[in-house]
Amino acid sequence: MSEPTGYVPPEVWTWDRESGGRFASINRPIAGPTHDKVLPVGKHPLQLYSLGTPNGQKVTILLEELLAAGYSGAEYDAWLINILEGDQFGSGFVDVNPNSKIPALVDRSGAEPVRVFESGAILVYLAEKFGAFLPTSGAARAEALSWLFWQVGSAPFLGGGFGHFYAYAPVKIEYAINRYAMEVKRQLDVLNRRLAEHEYIAGADYTIADMAIWPWYGGLLRGELYGEAATFLSTHEYEHVQRWTKQLAARTGVRRGRIVNRATGPLEEQLRERHDASDFETKTADKLAAQ
């Protein structure tokens, strides 16, 4: 692995846009909009503005699970936010999420619209709104929320740490890759030990904790994240996480939710926007290309 040499941090840091690598265009040291752009609004009370990354998939999986469970009020419009084109810096999106990160949700079912940003907050909001996939009290609720926030705190090590330095950084830094690979392996062991004793993350019941963790760690075990990372990290060793990953992948809500707002990967797994349940049958990228 090539190692950068001779770098000495300056007394005062300044932004060098050209040093940002593959994602230089989406990162900057200031907040706020770069341009005026009104967000579209569809026919359903729930308006989701997102991208089919692991964080985006968390919310669409929950919405599809709610619909599969019979909660018709969970119908939603999902609008694609292309972060590589700077959609997250449009004025309308910044009004919904001042942090300019996907996903962001607007609930228009009441007298006044309610904005919700940060994927974990959206999961809790929707679970409480519909009274599903989150225990209402006691130890069961505490367990589910603990694992949900475990994921929120752990994902930066997997994505922003390991994934960035292993797959995206313009140079391979052995120290950084080793540091974050060790942490991801430890996290996988945490999950493996937990799932050795419980069917789902929070215990006997399927909850938003599973929906939050699966797109990240299930995606890693399925070989969907960071190139050859599954081989590099020997993810086959985590047999109980493998069992759980396959179990959730078979669910209709997961199969549907994981492809919403996706703009990469196999064409049959890209539903760039979702406005009706029938879109899964008629508007995936492979079907649109065949028209």
pLDDT digits (tens, 9 = 90+) for 164-215: 999 999 899 999 999 999 999 999 999 999 999 999 999 999 999 999 999 9
- Domain-embedded: residue 3: no
- Domain-embedded: residue 155: yes
The upper half-sphere exposure of residue 126, i.e. CA atoms within 13 Å in the direction of its Cβ, equals 36
- Domain-embedded: residue 277: no
Burial 168-198 (b: 16+ CB within 10 A, else e): eeeeeeeebbeebbebbbebbeebbebbeee
- Domain-embedded: residue 118: no
Q: Residue 156: CB partners within 8 Å, gap ≥ 6?
A: none
pLDDT digits (tens, 9 = 90+) for 241-271: 999 999 999 999 999 999 999 999 999 999 9
- Domain-embedded: residue 17: no
- Domain-embedded: residue 96: no
- Domain-embedded: residue 199: yes
Structural tokens at position 189: 């062991």
Per the structure, how many domains does the chain have? Answer: 1
Number of other residues whose CB lies within 10 A of the CB of residue 40: 11
CATH number of the domain at 211, please: 1.20.1050.10
pLDDT for residue 7: 80
Mean pLDDT of 26-38: 92
Whole-prediction pTM: 0.95
By residue range, what is the domain housing residue 241?
138-257
- Domain-embedded: residue 230: yes
